[in-house]
Amino acid sequence: MTGWVPNPAAGDPVMDDLEAGVFEIPTEGTDRGVDWIAVTPGENGELGNPVPSGILYAATEICVEAPTLALARADTVLTLHLGDARQPGDVYAWGNKRVPLRLPAGCSVLVARALGGRGTASVQLWSTADELWFNLVDPTLPDLRAGETDEQWIGVPIGNPTDHSALGATARVVGDDFFEETTTVLPSLAPGAVTNVAFLLRPRFPLAVTDGPVSVRLRIESDSMDWSYEREVAVPVVEQSANARRTFRSRIDGSAQYFAVVFPEAFDPEATYALVLTLHGASVEAIGQANAYSKKDWAFVVAPTNRRPFGFDWEEWGRLDALEVLDLAMQTFPIDPTRVYLTGHSMGGHGTWNVGVHFPGRFAAIGPSAGWSSFYSYTGATRPTGALARARASSDTNVYATNLARRSVYVIHGSADDNVPVREARDMVALVSGISDDVTYHEEPGAGHWWDGEASPGADCVDWPPLFDLFQGRALDPSELEFDFRTPSPFVNPTHSFVTIRSAQDAFADVLVSSAPGAEPGTVEVATTNVRSLVLDGEMLADSGIDDAIVDGVRYEVLGAPIAIGPQDGKRPGVHGPFNEVLQRPWCLVWDDDAPAAYREYAAYLVSAWAIIGNGHACAMPASELTDTVRAERNVVWLGASRAEGFDESLPIDWGADSIVVGDDVHTDAALAFVFPGRGAEGDRLSGAFVATAGSEYLLFRMQPFSSRAGQPDYAVWTRAGAVASGFFDGDWALP
């Protein structure tokens, strides 16, 4: 049966029943205001003609004689619902995502919730006898370059459809003639979830192109499972001169990710090179982005992935991926740190603006092509308000364009672009021309969104020769003494040149730092606005010939060591907030053993969502299995936990079965998410919690932090009606 809710904002009776656990297969016709029709799915699970907008539901009954483990493909689908369990679908319909399901004996109702207007939804299910399964149609694979023995990583989504954690799981590359045996130990693989698992690949000797593709045998095992499981993947071997995928294990979550590299023409390992970081557009793979460029004899061209081809619009999670790849490329290749540049096309053009304005200390010049400044200008999206606006302030690139005052900007756009209006480029050029005195604009007459010609061996709209001529002529001073830097929060970027901001006085306001050489020789004068605490890089200042730093009128002697100013406890980088920060280092979801089952199902949903949307890895387990080692290595996010779980009693938050209390405000029938500093074994880490009043656990699923512009403040309370309270703690983790 399929039914269509044309305007879910006006009420969605299907979701109401799903959340209440009372949904039943409807009769054909109108049922609770929804029109249902019987459909016969196509050969690959197609569910019929798409609806123009709103939400399409498809429901069916599945009957099995015994409990059955299954995996599902759900394309153009938001979520799958099976009893209390919920799994994410793949709204982009790549056809290669899989999620686990557990079918109880007897008959169950499976419901798919899909977006109208995005094409035909389809769902397929396969039964499996495996406790752990490999999704080999969605791997993250490197290209092994001939003649090299560099370590790389293979990422494979591993599903655990059972009802228990695979504790102490080991991801093993089985040794053979080509590769050494390696093991990577993981705390757990979450029950009822899929997650990206990283396998370390260590070649025994330099391979030749004729050796490839090379078969690699992977094994996953856990003492919690009856069996271990092995599968093979084929890894390509490419010429040294070829553009190549290079994999790494992310410091953000421990997943295997890749970036693509265009190596310099006639590469000389004794030379140093410039680095051009290029951000791809929506639906483009990083290797496809790299292949749009010609080789340069003076630069590496490096393309990060945004974690997926659509990814995160290069905001927040995507921005983190771009910066992680930038750091890794600079560590791996012989890069001159004064010659680093940023460019990108379409969604990547937007990313160029967003990353460029927030990290001006990393790039000598930026070159957005066919980009837009913000979703507010591009789509007319409504700006959030209050604490939510501050948590998402980094989306508003226009506000932070002043950071480009001492940077070069080259903007490219086609005059007939029917995807991103040319007004976006013209408006941004007008804005930054009043900020920087080094702004160039090229508008290609009659060109659409993607255009090419004879100007470059690559695609002209990205590999534009005048853009690269400008890059080649610009240099950066990473330790500049003269700057004006504005950031929405130390959470976004705490560091510019020799200054690292540890915390702000007021989370609802931007932080500003201005610096200039002092009136006295050998001094630098720094003025701050809304800064609670900071640290100056004394070694960088000393190398710049500075003897004294004068900060807000107070003189500090420069001795080559860090100079700490203001309180160094309380909020600080990595232990700061807002909420999403707890998920930006390796993390583990932990639920009370006696908590309602909805908490475990919510953990499974979050772990799978991070894998489907962000190709990510996460751990999840019951509290009885949590060890001090896990607490020391990962940020712990508690689900349904009690106050006895080590929370700081001074936190201005309390909760129980009947109510949630924030300061003096009491909320009933509500859910709460918040972050707080770790204690004990967690050490210098951030922790988090999701809790709900009894009977309102379904509200948790309304919080899904893995999308662009989905930032949350330090705490948020919501009910069926929506958000009812949110805000930030002050620098001492108290309510201001």
Return the percentage of the chain with pLDDT > 90, whole number: 90
**Concatenated DSSP letters of 19-56:** HHT---PPPSEEETTEEEE-----TT-B-SSPPSSSEE
DSSP per-residue string spanning 356-414: HHH-GGG-SEEEEES--S-HHHHH-PPPP-HHHHHHTGGG-GGGGGGGGTTSEEEEEEE
Q: Which amino acid is at 275?
A: L
pLDDT band, residue 116 (cuts 50/70/90): confident
For 402-460, write each residue's pLDDT tens digit: 999 999 999 999 999 999 999 999 999 999 999 999 999 999 999 999 999 999 999 99
Q: Residues 232-257: pLDDT tens digits?
A: 999 999 999 999 999 999 999 999 99
Helix (H) or strand (E) holding 9: none
CA distance 587 to 589: 7
Q: Which amino acid is at 510?
A: D
Q: Give dist(CA 238, CA 583) in Å, integer.
A: 35
CA 127 to chain centre: 31
Dihedral sign for Cα 409, 410, 414, 420, please: negative
Mean pLDDT, range 111-128, rounded to an integer = 92
% residues pLDDT > 70 (the chain)? 99
One-letter amino acid at 87 equals Q
Cα separations in angstroms, 736 against 490, 532, 585: 18, 14, 27
Across 28-52, average pLDDT: 85
Q: Is the confidence at residue 646, as pLDDT, over 70?
A: no
Burial 557-579 (b: 16+ CB within 10 A, else e): ebeeeebebbeeebbbebbbbbb
**Confidence label for 736 from pLDDT (cuts 50, 70 and 90):** confident
Q: What is the mean pLDDT of residues 367-383?
A: 95
Confidence of residue 539 (pLDDT cuts 50, 70, 90): very high
Position 719 confidence tier, pLDDT thresholds 50, 70, 90? very high
Please state, as a whole number, how many other Cβ atoms lie within 10 Å of the Cβ of residue 144: 29
In this prediction, residue 30 has a pLDDT band, given cuts at 50, 70 and 90, of confident
Residue 303 is predicted with a pLDDT of: 98
Give me the chain's average pLDDT, please.
95
Q: How confident is the model at residue 31 (pLDDT cuts 50, 70, 90)?
A: confident
- SS3 for 128-149 is ECCCCEECCCCCECCCEECCCC
Query: Do 678 and 712 meet the contact criterion of CB atoms below 8 Å apart?
Result: no
pLDDT of 643 = 72
The whole-number average pLDDT for the span 210-216 is: 94
Q: What distance in Å separates the CA atoms of residue 518 and residue 149, rounded to the nearest whole number?
A: 50
Residue 95 has pLDDT above 90, yes or no: yes
Residue 262 has pLDDT above 90, yes or no: yes
- pLDDT for residue 96 is more than 80: yes
Three-class SS state of 353: helix
Instruction: Using the predicted structure, report yes or no on whether residue 647 has a pLDDT greater than 80.
Output: no
Mean pLDDT of 509-516: 98
Give the span between the Cα atoms of 568 and 580, in whole angstroms. 22
Distance CA 176, CA 231 (A): 14
> What's the confidence (pLDDT) of residue 51?
76
Provide the edge-to-edge strand list for the sheet that holds 653-655. 653-655, 660-662, 665-667
- pLDDT in the model for residue 176: 97
The predicted pLDDT at position 710 comes to 85
Is the pLDDT assigned to residue 645 strictly greater than 80? no
SS3 labels along 194-214: EEEEEEEECECCCCCHHHCCE
| Model pLDDT, residue 682 | 67
Which pTM was predicted? 0.97
Distance CA 715, CA 391 (A): 11
**Which domains does the chain carry?**
2-129 (2.60.120), 131-242 (2.60.40.10), 272-464 (3.40.50.1820), 495-565 (no CATH), 579-727 (3.30.379)
Q: What is the pLDDT of residue 118?
A: 84
Q: What is the pLDDT of residue 119?
A: 85
Bridge pairing between strands 68-75 and 122-128? antiparallel
Pairing of the two strands 686-692 and 635-639: parallel
729 pLDDT higher than 90: yes
Mean pLDDT of 14-20: 93
Question: In 3D, which of 29, 21, 5, 88 has the Cα closest to residue 612?
Answer: 88
pLDDT of residue 212: 85
> Residue range 66-78: average pLDDT?
96
Residue 642 confidence class, pLDDT cut points 50, 70, 90: confident
State residue 681's pLDDT score: 65
Query: What 3-state class would DSSP assign to 226?
Result: coil
